[in-house]
Structure 1
Amino acid sequence: MNTLRRKWLRYFAVLLMGSVAVWGVYTVTRPPDVVVVRLGEPYEKVRLQSRSTLPVATDENSIDLRVARPASLRFSDPEHGFVTPVARLLSIYTSQHGDVSIVTLSPQTQTLPLAEAMAIALDLQQQLGRRGWHPIRSSGFAPISNTPAMVERIRRGDDPHSVWQVAGKYQVTLDIRRFVHENRPVDERYLVTLELSGPPLTEIQPEK
């Protein structure tokens, strides 16, 4: 009986170690979550076509629908689409008819040093530029740039941001802001935020 029990214990241990190994490989190789969205689509369509933890919409949460696990955003417009890094904070807002109207996210999984946050913002702006987006009101909302003046504004907490539009259909607002932890006030950590929306768009005014 003891011999049989020992055999079962060895078998169970091998099975357990094998399961842990398989789970470890899965967590490393599993494709990251992604939210695939176009503005104006029904939210339920977005939820079903995405590989994510977006919740089912209910009367209680139908305005602000958030992922529970980090996911990247793929804006799937065939002409003007772009992809973000994985975001821990990603929310979808819907209209009264249940269609996607706004997406907000911070395309990172933790606060970052300024150089890393800057790299994310610059890459997103480059994607927008390649897909036909144009910055508007550049005199007041200049595109984010890795220049001494812009870096100083960001570090000072001015929250500089740029506004991009395309084809009179979509708008992206992008910014970098300093995140001050109450227990580490001298740490320099930063958050990039992106908001994607449709009409009504910010009015384009003539540059002076």
Structure 2
Amino acid sequence: MSLPGRVSWRRCGVGLILASLVTVLAFETQSEDEISLVIGEPYEAMRKRSSAAIGPAIPGHSWFNTPKSDARLRFTDPQYGFITPLARFFTVSFTDELVRSVRLSPQIEPLLLEDTLRVVLELQEQWHNAGWVPIRVEQDPPFADTPQWRAQLRDVNKGGTSYWQAGNQYQVMLVVNRFKDIKRPTEERYLIKLALARPWVKP
């Protein structure tokens, strides 16, 4: 016959293990959530293809929706495709039930400078490998891990912007700025912003 305390402890241990497994599974499921799209396609096709839940388009309107969970963007163009890290801020705009543009911050919290550079450089490498070309490089050169870029990003009045273009089909704007994180007031934290649409600025 087992002692009552021992039985309770075993039950408690099993409960903790189950709770941990549920937490891990929930995290893994969430981490796989993605919005899968290409600019100009029917909005409903994007919803059916995506593993992250997102509301429907409004017929006859220009508006936007946000995913119902953190999600990564998977841009599915067969030539120019790329994928982002998980994003907490994420909007998909539509006009006449067609995907018009995407705006997101490919992070779930403000990042340290090292992590910020890692994210933007990995994105730029994906674009370069897929045939995207940096544009407006005299005014807004691509990001790089250099002392000059680090100093510029640390300047709260400067930050950085880079534009990339895929043929005559798509454009991306990538922006990085310092961010005052009230949860970590003594740390340098940064926000990344990404906008994707048909070309809207001249190369």
TM-score by length of 1: 0.82
- Does residue 1:33 correspond to 2:30, yes or no? no
Given that residues 141 and 161 in structure 1 are in contact (C-alpha distance below 8 angstroms), is that contact kept between their aligned partners in structure 2?
yes
Matched with 1:3 is: none
| Equivalent position SS for 1:128 | helix
CA gap 1:118/1:22 in 2 versus in 1, 3 angstroms:
closer
Residues 56-92 of structure 1, C-alpha deviation per residue, up to 9 Å, x if partnerless? 2347x96121112100100000000000011111100
| Aligned 8 A contact 1:86 1:109 in 2 | yes
Query: Residues of 2 paired with 1:102 and 1:92: CA distance?
Result: 6
Q: Percent identity?
A: 33
Q: Which residue of structure 2 aligns with residue 4 of structure 1?
A: none
The residue that corresponds to 2:139 in the other structure is 140
Structural mapping, 1:59-78, within 5 Å: 63-78=63-78
Superposed CA RMSD? 2.4
Q: Figure out how many residues of one structure are paired with residues of the other and give that number.
A: 190
Alignment of 1:94-133 (within 5 A): 94-95=94-95, 97-133=96-132
Q: Match of 1:119, SS?
A: helix
Contact 1:121 1:175 (8 Å CA) reproduced? no
Q: Is the 1:74–1:81 Cα contact (8 Å) retained in structure 2? A: yes
Distance 1:166 1:192 in 2: 21
Q: Secondary structure at the match of 1:181?
A: coil
- Structure 1 segments of 4 or more deviating over 4 A? 182-186
- Structure 2 residue identity aligned to 1:26: L
One-letter code of the match for 2:125? Q
In structure 2, the CA distance between the partners of 1:183 and 1:41, relative to structure 1 (3 Å rule), is: same
Deviates more, 1:184-193 or 1:35-44: 184-193
Name stretches of at least 5 consecutive residues in structure 2 with no aligned partner: 1-7
Unaligned runs of 5+ in 1: 1-9
Q: TM-score, structure 2 length as denominator?
A: 0.84
Task: Name the CA shift for 1:48/1:62 in 2 (closer, same or farther; >3 Å).
Answer: farther
- Report SS of the residue matched to 1:193: strand
Deviations 1:146-188 (A, max 9, x none): 1111111111021211000011110000121111135755431
CA distance in 2 between counterparts of 1:21 and 1:150 reads 42
Q: Using the TM superposition, name which of 27-36 and 125-134 deviates more.
A: 27-36
- Which of these two proteins has the greater Rg computed from alpha carbons? 1
